[in-house]
């Protein structure tokens, strides 16, 4: 019997490895940016076309490579980061496995140009599907340029699984932001389809955060800094009043490497205990510096998860540091019974000296002088005399009470008491009592969650949240399609601030939002001005609604097979639907039931969940027959 186990060819092994390393264009962006950082570059440019499906190019001014290194970097398990197995526990760089470039070259057309500073000429290599197409000498500037074209050209199944350009570019921006935030001392530029999306010069942490997320972010930041033997913590958290419903701006960096950690996120949330509204998430940009031998970063293919030696101590230190910063900057409430807040010195008066007030006294002032003059004048006037000209100033006749002015003006006033008024007792009604009972509402609310209504065959139980979602969804979708959504004008326009990526999404869905009733006065580089809202959207919910809508579009909820109008209608319906626990009046319950069964598909919500169930009389009889 012949053997059935055989070694895979190199190109097949590279394609299999590419499945772990390269999941989407953002994975290529991450690997190339990290290589540019490891090359000690001070300026890095990222050029993307069609969300990375057509072109991903990273240009840096780093140290470059010689001819031998340029050829070896495309081989599997070739790396400049480690020499021994022990080096895995003392890593100070980004990528280290030596599989990234080999995996990328196996599923794309790669063109590399590199040159070292001391060399006169550089190296130009073209690789297509793990095969070296050409290698030439070229005149190049210092540094390295990687161009990845036609990603997944030889794996069409993987290319078909890619999402829309909007979603894929959002993932690219996420990777770009993570690398840029981790290295504020490096300048980054991002171009997409010829347009400059980000231009981040070298600076400090705060400047980099503001450069990515907008100038409005600066007032939200609260600095956090703590240094111990276990960990050195530095970074920023946002003030509780700027918390959002989505978990967007939350970043952990360990030794300048972005990570995800639910355990550390829980420590941050514990520090905000009692300061956030239900369902809100704070933003944070936390940089942790720990000894390399105390962490293991090789437990995840993308190296976004890290194992710590002492997680409990790290949890306690992080929680205490954030809580201390929130209290230090008077963000968190302070309970001190011996402190009187009224005695606090305002900041404007801290360095001023006390000013002694000038007291001016009028020694000739006598509060009893007027009464003494009046008393003297009255005593000097003889009784019954009309007085002369000088005494008329002190004479004041007493006017009769105002009630006496109306006495005798109505001669028939005394006869009013004899008039018999019609009895106020209601002796009849426009409706019969039976008719009033027939028109009474027959819908009842249970636990502020379900609506119960009797029908001929039994009972109808409606989920009020899902039912309202279906009603709003069809309403918004009809308004977007027919383009006649009603709008209510605002007396004072709303000014909402967003970063560049979010503003691009708002511009993209501007027309659909206007059809639902939104009126945008302007959309600038860092904010929008809203003049009108849909009729059923309260002003207090606008910010939350747009944040959730942007988040859904970034993640393409519910899926790529749906149109943008459909996604907008679903997101708005989910945000504006009545929540579980909302009490509804009898009229509101009746209107919801009628509106639900006026929908085209009343039996399911926009997210394919049942809106109501029926309980027949037979089912009730069976339950009582037990």
Residue 529 included in any domain: yes
Give the distance between the most distant pair of CA atoms in the chain.
Answer: 150
Q: How far apart (Å, rounded) are the C-alpha atoms in residues 288 and 268?
A: 13
What's the rounded mean pLDDT across residues 482-493? 81
Handedness of CA 191, 192, 197, 203 (dihedral sign): negative
Strand partners, 244: 281
Task: Identify which of 123, 102, 126 has the alpha carbon closest to the alpha carbon of residue 114.
Answer: 123
- Residue 387: predicted pLDDT: 46
pLDDT range class, residue 175, cuts 50, 70, 90: very high
Q: How far apart (Å, rounded) are the C-alpha atoms in residues 614 and 600?
A: 19
Secondary structure class of 476 (helix, strand, coil): helix
- Residue 365: predicted pLDDT: 82
480 and 592 inside one domain: yes
Q: How far apart (Å, rounded) are the C-alpha atoms in residues 247 and 260?
A: 12
* Residue 98 scores a pLDDT above 60: no
Boundary of a domain, candidates 328, 361, 389: 328
Q: How far apart (Å, rounded) are the C-alpha atoms in residues 410 and 426?
A: 32
First to last CA, the chain: 67
155 and 246 inside one domain: no
170 and 212 inside one domain: no
151 and 53 inside one domain: yes
- Residue 560: predicted pLDDT: 42
Handedness of CA 430, 433, 438, 439 (dihedral sign): positive
pLDDT tens readout for residues 315-337:
999 999 999 998 887 665 555 55
Q: How far apart (Å, rounded) are the C-alpha atoms in residues 464 and 579?
A: 8
pLDDT tens readout for residues 366-389:
878 766 666 555 555 554 444 444
* Residue 574 scores a pLDDT above 80: yes
pLDDT range class, residue 559, cuts 50, 70, 90: very low
Distances (CA, A) of 284 to 107, 182, 253, 402: 36, 13, 11, 72
Boundary of a domain, candidates 302, 328, 354: 328
pLDDT range class, residue 46, cuts 50, 70, 90: very high
139 and 249 inside one domain: no
pLDDT range class, residue 399, cuts 50, 70, 90: low
Residue 452 included in any domain: yes
* Residue 91 scores a pLDDT above 60: no
118 and 212 inside one domain: no
CB neighbourhood size of 150 (10 A): 16
Residue scoring higher pLDDT (346 or 604) = 604
- State the DSSP H helix or E strand holding residue 501, giving kind and residue range, or none if neither: helix 500-508
- Residue 165: predicted pLDDT: 84
Number of domains in the chain: 3
196 and 213 inside one domain: no
**pTM greater than 0.75 (yes/no):** no
- Residue 47: predicted pLDDT: 95
Q: What is the DSSP code string of 557-603?
A: SS-TTS-HHHHHHHHHHHHHSPPTT----HHHHHHHHHHHTTSSSTT
Boundary of a domain, candidates 280, 303, 328: 328
- Residue 510: predicted pLDDT: 86
Q: How far apart (Å, rounded) are the C-alpha atoms in residues 281 and 502?
A: 18
191 and 217 inside one domain: no
Q: Quick one: tokens of 539?
A: 């002003």
The residues, ordered by sequence, that sit 6+ positions from 435 with a Cβ below 8 Å of its Cβ are none
Q: Which of 7-16, 88-97, 440-449 bottoms out in mean pLDDT, i.e. has the lowest?
A: 88-97
Residue 624 included in any domain: no
Q: Is the peptide bond before 558 cis (omega within 30 degrees of 0)?
A: yes
- State the DSSP H helix or E strand holding residue 7, giving kind and residue range, or none if neither: none
* Residue 600 scores a pLDDT above 50: yes
152 and 274 inside one domain: no
Specify the CATH number for the domain of residue 285. Answer: 3.30.230.10
Average pLDDT, the chain: 79
- Residue 504: predicted pLDDT: 82
Residue 343 included in any domain: no
194 and 227 inside one domain: no
Specify the CATH number for the domain of residue 481. Answer: 3.30.1370.100
Task: Identify which of 225, 228, 243 has the alpha carbon closest to the alpha carbon of residue 325.
Answer: 225
What's the rounded mean pLDDT across residues 98-109? 81
Residue 608 included in any domain: yes
CB 461 within 8 A of CB 612: yes
- Residue 397: predicted pLDDT: 53
Structural domain for 192, as ranges: 10-200
pLDDT tens readout for residues 488-517:
888 888 888 888 878 888 888 888 888 888
Q: Which of 83-92, 193-202, 246-255 bottoms out in mean pLDDT, i.e. has the lowest?
A: 83-92
C-beta pairs of 235-239 under 8 Å, 24+ apart in sequence: 235/205, 235/284, 235/285, 235/286, 235/287, 236/205, 236/206, 236/209, 236/284, 236/285, 237/268, 237/271, 237/282, 237/283, 237/284, 237/285, 237/286, 237/322, 237/325, 237/326, 238/282, 238/283, 238/284, 239/331
Residue scoring higher pLDDT (200 or 563) = 200
73 and 172 inside one domain: yes
**Tokens 């007085």, residue?**
387
Residue 502 included in any domain: yes
Residue 377 included in any domain: no
Specify the CATH number for the domain of residue 63. Answer: 3.30.565.10
Residue scoring higher pLDDT (85 or 601) = 601
What phi and psi, each to the nearest 5 degrees, are found at residue 304? -95, 0
Q: Quick one: tokens of 50?
A: 């069609």
- Residue 182: predicted pLDDT: 93
33 and 145 inside one domain: yes
* Residue 425 scores a pLDDT above 80: no
Residue 385 included in any domain: no
The residues, ordered by sequence, that sit 6+ positions from 140 with a Cβ below 8 Å of its Cβ are 113, 114, 115, 121, 122, 124
- Residue 429: predicted pLDDT: 45
Q: Which of 40-49, 80-89, 557-566 bottoms out in mean pLDDT, i.e. has the lowest?
A: 80-89
- Residue 496: predicted pLDDT: 87
**Tokens 């993570």, residue?**
178
Secondary structure class of 48 (helix, strand, coil): strand
Q: What percent of the chain has pLDDT over 70?
A: 76
**Tokens 């095969």, residue?**
131
């Amino acid at each position: 019997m012949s053997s059935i186990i055989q070694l895979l060819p190199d190109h097949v092994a590279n394609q299999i490895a590419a499945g772990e390393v390269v999941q989407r264009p953002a994975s290529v962006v991450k690997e190339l940016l990290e290589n540019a950082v490891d090359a000690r570059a001070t300026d890095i440019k990222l050029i993307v076309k069609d969300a990375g499906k057509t072109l991903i190019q990273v240009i840096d001014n780093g140290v470059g490579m010689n001819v031998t290194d340029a050829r070896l970097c495309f081989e599997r398990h070739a790396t400049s980061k480690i020499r021994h197995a022990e080096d895995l526990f003392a890593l100070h760089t980004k990528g280290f496995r030596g599989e990234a470039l080999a995996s990328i070259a196996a599923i794309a057309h790669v063109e590399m140009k590199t040159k070292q500073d001391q060399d006169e000429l550089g190296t130009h290599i073209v690789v297509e599907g793990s095969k070296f197409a050409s290698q030439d000498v070229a005149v190049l500037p210092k540094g390295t340029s990687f161009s990845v074209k036609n990603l997944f050209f030889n794996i069409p199944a993987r290319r078909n699984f890619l999402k829309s350009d909007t979603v894929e570019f959002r993932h690219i921006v996420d990777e770009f932001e993570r690398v840029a935030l981790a290295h504020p001392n490096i300048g980054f530029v991002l171009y997409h389809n010829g347009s400059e999306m980000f231009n981040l010069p070298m600076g400090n942490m705060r400047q980099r955060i503001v450069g990515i997320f907008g100038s409005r972010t600066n007032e939200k930041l609260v600095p956090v800094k703590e240094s111990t033997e276990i960990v050195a913590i530095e970074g920023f958290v946002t003030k509780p009043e700027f918390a959002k419903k989505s978990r967007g701006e939350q970043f952990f960096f360990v030794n300048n490497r972005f990570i995800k950690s639910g355990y550390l996120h829980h420590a941050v949330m514990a520090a905000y205990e009692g300061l956030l509204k239900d369902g809100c998430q704070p933003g944070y940009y936390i940089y942790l510096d720990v000894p390399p031998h105390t962490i293991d970063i090789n437990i995840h293919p993308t190296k976004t998860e890290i194992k710590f030696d002492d997680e409990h101590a790290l949890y306690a230190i992080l929680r205490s540091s954030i809580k201390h910063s929130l209290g230090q900057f008077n963000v968190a409430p302070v309970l001190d019974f011996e402190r009187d807040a009224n005695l606090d010195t305002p900041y404007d008066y801290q360095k001023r000296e006390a000013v002694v007030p000038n007291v001016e006294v009028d020694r000739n002032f006598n509060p009893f002088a007027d009464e003494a003059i009046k008393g003297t004048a009255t005593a000097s006037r003889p009784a019954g005399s009309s007085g002369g000209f000088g005494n008329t100033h002190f004479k004041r006749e007493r006017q009769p009470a105002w009630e006496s002015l109306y006495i005798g003006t109505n001669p028939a006033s005394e006869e009013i008491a004899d008039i018999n008024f019609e009895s106020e007792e209601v002796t009849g009604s426009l409706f019969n009592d039976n008719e009033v009972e027939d028109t009474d509402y027959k819908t009842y609310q249970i636990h502020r969650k379900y609506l119960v209504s009797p029908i001929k065959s039994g009972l109808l139980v409606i989920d009020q949240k899902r039912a309202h979602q279906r009603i709003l969804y069809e309403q918004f979708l009809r308004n977007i399609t027919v383009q006649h959504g009603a709008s209510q004008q605002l007396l004072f326009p709303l000014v909402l601030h967003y970063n560049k990526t979010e503003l691009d999404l708002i511009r993209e869905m501007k027309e659909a939002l206007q059809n639902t009733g939104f009126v945008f006065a302007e959309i600038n580089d860092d904010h929008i001005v809203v003049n009108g809202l849909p009729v059923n959207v309260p002003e207090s919910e606008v910010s939350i609604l747009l944040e959730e809508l942007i988040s859904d579009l970034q993640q393409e909820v519910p899926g790529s097979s749906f149109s943008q109008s459909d996604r907008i209608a679903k997101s708005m319906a989910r945000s504006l639907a009545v929540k579980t626990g909302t009490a509804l009046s009898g009229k509101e319950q009746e209107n919801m039931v009628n509106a639900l069964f006026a929908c085209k598909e009343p039996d399911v919500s926009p997210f394919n969940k049942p809106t109501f169930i029926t309980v027949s009389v037979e089912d009730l009889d069976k339950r009582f027959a037990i």
